[in-house]
Amino acid sequence: MDKLTIVRPDDWHLHVRTGAVLHAVIAATAQQFARAIIMPNLKPPVTSVEQALSYREEILSVLPAGSDFQPLMTLYLTGLTSVNDVKQVAASEHIHAFKLYPAGATTNSDSGVSNIEAAYPVFEAMEKHDVPLLVHGEVTDEKYDIFDREKIFIDSQLQAIVNRFPNLRIVMEHVTTEEAVQFVASAADKIAATITPQHLLYNRNAMLAGGIRPHFYCLPILKREQHRQALVAAATSGSPKFFLGTDSAPHLTHLKEHSCGCAGCFNAPAALSLYAEAFDQVGKLDKLEGFASFFGADFYGLPRNQGHVTLAKTDWQVPEVFHLANETITPLRAGETLHWQLL
């Protein structure tokens, strides 16, 4: 197969930031995807409906001319989130979910939830109003090894939430382990997961063997090869529980190439190519459309997109950098030749 036409896809997990960074990165996503779930971990975080609506306006205002890209907004869950906030989100046509960051789990998560049980009344309201909960599934306690944090979160927190709120729709974002795949696959239909391109294509050797490569550093961190294989099997299985979420997370180049580099891979410029590469490697390109274009929309109860995109097996080069006024952002696979190109 050297050409693939699929219904226009969506990105169900995306960071685009604000201001100059937003300006530099938004076109990459808008060229490939019809819609994206926009993460609320700004500084300060997006915690109210008003903030989310004004952030949405900012995103719409920087779209390339003629783009019909739709940002789907989310609110950041904090210890102060109320049942009333849930009702307001349920009533908003533009806000689609709450994002739970355990406090300290990742970039701009300081305002996250430190006592998850204290948020149970909010989960109860989300269950009642059918507002999805998006979860960064990692424990944050320093005593746990960074490679074990996802599994421990499932065992110590997520299983309890699922048991207690059986009708709550939950997306375990950016799953990275065999255990997370098994957990989601064997859970009820209300439980789904997104998978990033980097976790489908790379294990931790890509980041650490033969030199430390900061542009492969994201959270949850890349794991062993057995986990990558479990993720590929899940993504290409045709199960509607697993769908596309890039977790594209731009940081300035100098803050990634740093003695304490930021977590996040800016994969948006090559997102669809990277997913096509991962599906092609296992001979499952026929499963890309469900993963990229159907299952996320179905889970969120949104219509599937009209229109199509075509990928061709043609070499193209990922730009070395994206420019801001005096800074750059380096994409994943910068300067490399990729083999699937969006026409």
Residue 274 makes contact with ligand DOR by CB under 6 A: no
Please tell me the count of residues contacting ligand DOR according to CB under 6 A. Answer: 10
Distance in Å, CB of 334 to ligand DOR, minimum: 17
We find the least distance from the C-beta atom of residue 339 to ligand DOR, in angstroms, to be 26
> Amino acid identity, residue 205?
N
Residues near 149 by Cβ (< 8 Å), separated by ≥ 6? 138, 139, 140, 220
Q: For Zn ion, which is the closer residue by CB, 127 or 247? A: 247
User: Is there a catalytic annotation at residue 315?
Assistant: no
41 binds, among ligand DOR, Zn ion, none (CB under 5 to 8 A by kind): ligand DOR
Report the partner that residue 107 touches, choosing among Zn ion, ligand DOR, none (CB closer than 5 to 8 A by kind). Answer: ligand DOR
Contact flag: residue 18 with ligand DOR (CB under 6 A) = no
Binding of Zn ion at residue 247 (CB under 5 A)? yes
User: Which residue is listed with tokens 């795949």?
Assistant: 181
Phi, psi of 260 (to 5 degrees): -135, 75
Q: What is the DSSP string of 259-287?
A: TTPPP----GGGHHHHHHHHHHHTT-GGG
With H, G, I as helix, E, B as strand and everything else as coil, classify residue 310.
Answer: strand
- Should residue 149 be labelled a site residue for ligand DOR when binding is judged by CB under 6 A? no
Q: Is 41 in the site for ligand DOR (CB under 6 A)?
A: yes
Nearer to Zn ion, 247 or 277 (CB): 247
- The DSSP output letter for 130 is T
Q: Say whether the peptide bond before residue 240 is cis (omega within 30 degrees of 0).
A: no
Contact 150, 138 (CB under 8 A): yes
Based on the shown chain and the rule CB under 6 A, indicate whether residue 77 belongs to the binding site for ligand DOR.
no
Q: By CB under 6 A, is residue 136 in contact with ligand DOR?
A: yes
Q: Is 263 in the site for ligand DOR (CB under 6 A)?
A: yes
Q: Is 246 one of the binding residues for ligand DOR (CB under 6 A)?
A: no
Q: Least separation, in Å, of the C-beta of 106 and ligand DOR?
A: 4
Rounded distance between C-alpha atoms, residue 314 and residue 312, angstroms: 6
The interface with ligand DOR within residues 184-223 (CB under 6 A) comprises 218-219
Run of H or E including 37: strand 35-38
Give the residue from 331, 318, 213 showing the smallest Cα distance to 266.
331
User: Which is it for strands 242-244 and 11-14: parallel, antiparallel or unpaired?
Assistant: unpaired
Q: Which of 145, 247, 280, 315 is catalytic?
A: 247
Q: Please give the residue ranges that form the binding site for ligand DOR (CB under 6 A).
A: 15, 41, 106-107, 136, 218-219, 249, 263-264
* Catalytic residue ranges: 247
